[in-house]
Chain A
């Protein structure tokens, strides 16, 4: 009984935090939508039509159908990552929002859950925008797969949000996030099959790609939105792997935040 009510309480605090971020987001939604959705769309157009005219097909798919899941995943990863690094660090250090929230009954663990879930929401928004426009570009071959694809995007948003929190927990200033982008975001962007099939790389690069969560997001979304056959077992494994990353990263971030704020 007490476990159930505990979970209820955590969920309530978490959704309050989520709602707080959503309210703030509302005031800058216009400039943010421009940046967060337009950016992957420009990549989609340039690579899909520009390079697509040149490449024709990639592993049996038209290049636009190949790149659409790539850009959905990229939009989701970038937005979730940005939200819990630059965004969360501003709330944590500059605005001192965390200190203010901790003066209420909300606990640190719930703040971090709220941050990760809001990051996942922003990633989902971006992926939806890309999906919508990309289907007009002709990149969506399997409309029935989109719900599964968006669910996978949500799992990935939790994962990238939680990894971002790890970096925020260690950050001393904004400069620190340069390492985050070069060491984490760029490899997840380039070595995971977003633009082209990974089998073109030497084995050691493929091995790095196989560890990165983005590989499984791109692969899963591509399986669902393109004409590739759907393998349910593989999809569950991909989702599980993304959530495993999310859980581990969340645990590390929480430990570090506790040490930093309460010791």
Chain B
């Protein structure tokens, strides 16, 4: 049986480590998206007043929330995860206790999604102060969805790192996974501007569905039916990637 207590213990361990470098974390995952928000929102926003029918600054604000979660979770569950189980031998140490592999994966994913949601809250607050959030009340409702998005990415990141042997193994995720989601998932550029086949392909990405949920919310629209549909896909993807990661790691460690 999966023990949630054990998973929380793993998550808490991750939190304790994070406390030692939280300033660096905030600097990267909060300052960087805000610089992008300013540079593109104000700079590019003047080249064309609106995108997708709204001012460009309002358009990319939710994109920045999603991208900060995307980068912080993916870096943690690829480079970070590989360092923990390979170089530090941390997972083997944990497995010598009553904690099981499923609980390690779940615990790390829980913390990874939570810390990235913390970063998203800070980005949201500063954007609100800059006047980039039309509807702050609804915008707060994006947070649970960003957290689920974080869990999905953690599952995918862990599944990728189960196949990795060294840090260079992750080279491919920058263009083929992260940049592809950043550019085609609707973060900066309205997906409607791309050819139809590209638009269909992007429906695989979790980020596309997250954006479809959170962009209307930060603009003050709430469409329950759409939200349910996209959230259902995210949950399905989370469950699938979590199970896949367990299966792949079991094959790597115990066979």
Contacts and interface: CB of A to CB of B under 8 A. Distances in A.
Nearest to A55: B47
Nearest to B189: A50
A58 B47 CA distance: 8
A39 interface: yes
Contact of B172 (A35, A47, A55, A186): A35
Contacts of A100: none
B35 A190 contact: yes
Contacts of A201: 42-43
Interface residues of A, number: 33
B229 interface: no
Given A186-B35, A190-B35, A200-B47, A35 B171 contact: yes
B39 A182 contact: no
B193 interface: yes
A175 B24 contact: yes
Interface in B131-182: 168-169, 171-172, 174-176, 179-180
A137 interface: no
Contacts of A191: 39
A42 B179 contact: yes
A181 B35 CA distance: 12
Contacts of B51: 54
A32 interface: yes
Contact of B171 (A32, A54, A175): A32
Contacts of B43: 190, 195-196, 200-201
A181 B174 CA distance: 15
A32 B172 CA distance: 8
Interface in A164-190: 175, 178-179, 181-182, 186-187, 190
Best-buried of A51, A55, A191, A200 by chain B (most CB within 10 Å): A51
Chain A interface mostly helix, strand, loop or mixed? helix
Interface residues of B, number: 33
Interface string B21-35: 100100110011001
Contacts of A190: 35-36, 39-40, 43
Nearest to A35: B171
A210 interface: no
Contacts of B32: 181-182, 186
Contact of B27 (A49, A55, A179, A195): A179
A216 to B, nearest CB: 19
A43 interface: yes
Q: Which of A31, A42, A45, A191 gathers the greatest number of chain B CB atoms within 10 Å?
A: A42
B151 to A, nearest CB: 24
Interface in B5-55: 21, 24, 27-28, 31-32, 35-36, 39-40, 42-44, 46-48, 51
Nearest to B25: A178
Interface in A13-43: 28, 31-32, 34-35, 38-39, 41-43
A46 interface: yes
Contacts of A196: 43-44, 47
B27 A182 contact: yes
A258 interface: no
B189 A178 contact: no
Nearest to A202: B42
A31 B165 CA distance: 13
Contact of A34 (B46, B172, B190): B172
A53 interface: yes
- 6 A-B pairs with least C-beta separation: A46-B183, A190-B39, A38-B175, A35-B171, A39-B175, A31-B171
